[in-house]
Amino acid sequence: MRTKRETLPANILASIRERKRRERGSLATPSPEGREGGVLIASYNVHKCVGVDGKFDPYRIKEVIKEIGADVIALQEADTRFGERRGLLDLDWLERETGLLPVPVKGFAKAHGWHGNVVFFREGLVRNVHQVKLPGLEPRGALIAELELKGGNAIRIIAAHLGLLHRSRHQQTRMIIDLLQSREEQPTVLMGDLNEWRLGDRSSLNTLTSIFGLPAGVPSFPSRLPVLALDRIMANRPELLDPVEAHDSPLARLASDHLPIKARIRLQPNVVADEA
């Protein structure tokens, strides 16, 4: 117990120092023409478009997505949870302002994604989509999208939102690994709200290490003073992924209780994956 009491304040102090460092620097997102190569990917739990001030405001979420300027972005909690699972964002606006298109899913006519998970991409083709219902007491899912991006770069994206219960997360990560082991190996990125802050023997992240390793976590929750690395971006090849960072802007701190996280991936050109 003593260790836990000492660790949390240390995390809070580190978060404050990082916030001050970012505020001294520039938070401007480079234009697509000015990017440093590679493909910019991001993950963002939009909290059903309800900000830390309790206001439902999809416009703020859309503006944060525009700030990030990602080529591929996975959102969690982008739909209402029950009933028709109606999507909460203006997809026409997103396409017009950012060039992002949603990976199509089946099953819910008015939903953006699958169990609240949606993947948006820019300039490419969708080669395959798999909607996975994850085990556990809560309704959770993962969306596996195999994309061919501009220039023929092929990537498999797994967008997931794991459960709040420890036992469920273990079952869900095991299912993700089993699914990947049954498919042909190709460049793969797992990203989303994995709801796991623990490390060590009890962490559900341990199951993922056989394929993804265990990269350092970036605090993303709560958005106003992030101390917990609930959101993750992981790749099955170490050379594929640049360091992950939080998108910490004034609007991102307000629009959701999670900060977005982002990273660049380095893909070999003109490599097209076979159909799974």
257 found inside a domain: yes
Domain count for the chain, please give it: 1
Where are the extended beta strands (E) located within 46-100?
72-76
DSSP state of 73: E
What pLDDT, on the 0 to 100 scale, is given for residue 222?
A: 97
273 found inside a domain: no
271 found inside a domain: no
CA atoms of 176 and 17, how far apart (whole Å): 36
CB 254 within 8 Å of CB 51 = yes
What residue type is 112 in one-letter code? H
Whose tokens are 């079952």? That residue is 171
What pLDDT, on the 0 to 100 scale, is given for residue 113?
A: 86
42 found inside a domain: yes
Handedness of CA 77, 83, 84, 90 (dihedral sign): negative
**Vertex 231, ends 228 and 233: CA angle to 5°?**
130
What pLDDT, on the 0 to 100 scale, is given for residue 275?
A: 45
CB 74 within 8 Å of CB 157 = yes
What pLDDT, on the 0 to 100 scale, is given for residue 114?
A: 87
Looking at the DSSP assignment, which residues form a beta bridge with residue 74? 43, 119
48 found inside a domain: yes
What pLDDT, on the 0 to 100 scale, is given for residue 20?
A: 52
The domain spanning residue 145 has which CATH number?
3.60.10.10
243 found inside a domain: yes
270 found inside a domain: no
What pLDDT, on the 0 to 100 scale, is given for residue 15?
A: 54
What pLDDT, on the 0 to 100 scale, is given for residue 141?
A: 92
Give me the domain span that covers residue 222. Answer: 2-265
pLDDT by residue, tens only, the chain of 276 residues: 434 443 455 555 555 555 555 554 444 444 343 346 789 999 999 999 999 999 999 999 999 999 999 999 999 999 887 666 789 999 999 999 999 999 998 876 688 888 899 999 998 999 999 999 999 888 899 999 999 998 788 999 999 999 999 999 999 999 999 999 999 999 999 999 999 988 877 899 999 999 998 877 899 999 999 999 999 999 999 899 999 999 999 999 999 999 999 999 998 765 444 444
69: region left, alpha or beta (phi > 0 left; psi from -120 to 50 alpha): left
CA atoms of 256 and 214, how far apart (whole Å): 26
202 found inside a domain: yes
